[in-house]
Amino acid sequence: MAAQQQVRAGFVELYGAEPEGVWSAPGRVNLIGEHTDYNDGFVMPFALPHTAVAAVSRRGDGVLRLHSSDVDGGVVELRLDELAPESDRNWTAYPAGVVWALREAGHPVTGADVHLTSTVPAGAGLSSSAALEVVIALALNDLYDLGLQRWQLARLCQRAENVYVGAPTGIMDQTASACCEAGHALFLDTRDLSQKQIPFDLAAEGMRLLVVDTQVKHAHSDGEYGKRRAGCEKGAALLGVDALRDIPYADLDAALARLGDEEEVRRLVRHVVTEDERVERVVTLLEAGDSRAIGQVLTEGHASLRDDFRISCPELDLVVDTALASGALGARMTGGGFGGSAIVLAEAADVDTITKAVEEAFATAGFTAPRVFEAVPSAGARRVS
The residues that are catalytic are 173
Binding status of residue 26 toward ligand GLA by CB under 6 A: no
> Smallest distance, Å, CB 347 to ligand GLA?
27
Binding status of residue 231 toward ligand GLA by CB under 6 A: no
Q: Strands across the sheet with 63-68, in order?
A: 76-79, 63-68, 111-118, 45-58, 21-30, 382-383
C-beta of residue 185 within 8 angstroms of C-beta of residue 45: yes
Binding status of residue 330 toward ligand GLA by CB under 6 A: no
Segment interacting with ligand GLA (CB under 6 A) among 32-40, 94-102, 252-260, 372-380: 32-40
Q: Which is nearer to ligand GLA, 10 or 340 (CB)?
A: 340
- Closest alpha carbon to 54 in 100, 102, 94, 109: 94
Binding status of residue 172 toward ligand GLA by CB under 6 A: yes
Binding status of residue 343 toward ligand GLA by CB under 6 A: no
> Smallest distance, Å, CB 214 to ligand GLA?
15
Binding status of residue 335 toward ligand GLA by CB under 6 A: yes
Neighbours of 196 (CB within 10 A): 13
Centroid of chain to Cα 361 = 27
Helix (H) or strand (E) segment spanning residue 114: strand 111-118
Centroid of chain to Cα 77 = 28
Which of helix, strand or coil describes residue 381? coil
Q: Which is nearer to ligand GLA, 7 or 311 (CB)?
A: 311
Q: Which is nearer to ligand GLA, 52 or 143 (CB)?
A: 52
Binding residue for ligand GLA, selected from 21, 121, 170, 231, defined by CB under 6 A: 170
What is the C-alpha separation between 354 and 92, in angstroms, rounded?
Answer: 38
Q: Which is nearer to ligand GLA, 31 or 140 (CB)?
A: 31
Tell me the H-state helices in 106-251.
128-143, 150-159, 172-179, 223-239
| Sign of the Cα pseudo-torsion (61, 63, 69, 72, in order) | negative
Binding status of residue 39 toward ligand GLA by CB under 6 A: no
Binding status of residue 37 toward ligand GLA by CB under 6 A: yes
Binding residue for ligand GLA, selected from 26, 97, 336, 377, defined by CB under 6 A: 336
> Smallest distance, Å, CB 364 to ligand GLA?
30
Q: Which is nearer to ligand GLA, 205 or 307 (CB)?
A: 307
Crossing angle of helices 172-179 and 150-159, rounded to 10°: 150
What is the C-alpha separation between 347 and 207, in angstroms, rounded?
Answer: 4
Binding status of residue 169 toward ligand GLA by CB under 6 A: yes
> Smallest distance, Å, CB 8 to ligand GLA?
30
Beta bridge partners of 150: none
Total residues interacting with ligand GLA, rule: CB under 6 A: 12
Segment interacting with ligand GLA (CB under 6 A) among 87-95, 166-174, 282-290, 298-306: 166-174
Binding status of residue 175 toward ligand GLA by CB under 6 A: no
What is the C-alpha separation between 11 and 22, in angstroms, rounded?
Answer: 10
Phi first, then psi: give them for residue 197, nearest 5 degrees. Answer: -85, 120
Segment interacting with ligand GLA (CB under 6 A) among 60-68, 167-175, 282-290, 298-306: 167-175
- Residues engaged in binding ligand GLA (CB under 6 A): 30, 34-35, 37-38, 169-170, 172-173, 220, 335-336
